[in-house]
Amino acid sequence: MELVQRRQQRIDDLQHRLLHAEREVLERCRRQFETLAGAVRHYDARRILSGIAKELAAREAAMAAAIRAAVLQQRSRLEQLSGADRCALAAGHSGAGVCPGVRRCGKIAQGRGASQTGR
């Protein structure tokens, strides 16, 4: 009878050890999984690509604003130059010594007669 009790006690002890070992293995696997899941979340391509997309959009907006400002500046410069050319052409055709738009461009244009008499 004592032998049966020892065997039963040994079986109970082995079952307890096996159950404890299984729990430890499962807990270790769970910790490893959580560590890997955290690493995957940290290096998630969607998050990284989203950040890159936002940065590119900001750069694109800045470049578009700079290009828009440059185009407006060039347009106003071109309008100023074409206005001065019109004044010079008008003064050349009319023969007058003063540009008809003297208030606008502030230049005195020489007419055909004035340039010929200056020789």
Task: Give pLDDT, residue 39.
Answer: 87
Residues 27, 29: Cα–Cα separation, whole Å? 5
**Mean pLDDT, the chain, as a whole number?**
82
Helices (H), 43-107: 45-94, 102-105
CA-closest candidate to residue 107, choices 81, 77, 87: 87
Work out the number of other CB atoms within 10 angstroms of the CB of residue 101: 16
* C-alpha dihedral sign at 4, 5, 11, 15: positive
pLDDT in tens, 27-72: 999 999 999 998 888 888 888 899 999 999 999 999 999 999 999 9
Output the pTM of the full model.
Answer: 0.41
Domain spans in the chain, listed from the N-terminal domain onward? 1-43
With cut-offs at 50, 70 and 90, classify the pLDDT of residue 7.
Answer: very high
Q: How far apart are CA 49 and CA 59, in angstroms?
A: 15
From 89, 92, 99, 85, select the one nearest 115 (Cα to Cα): 92
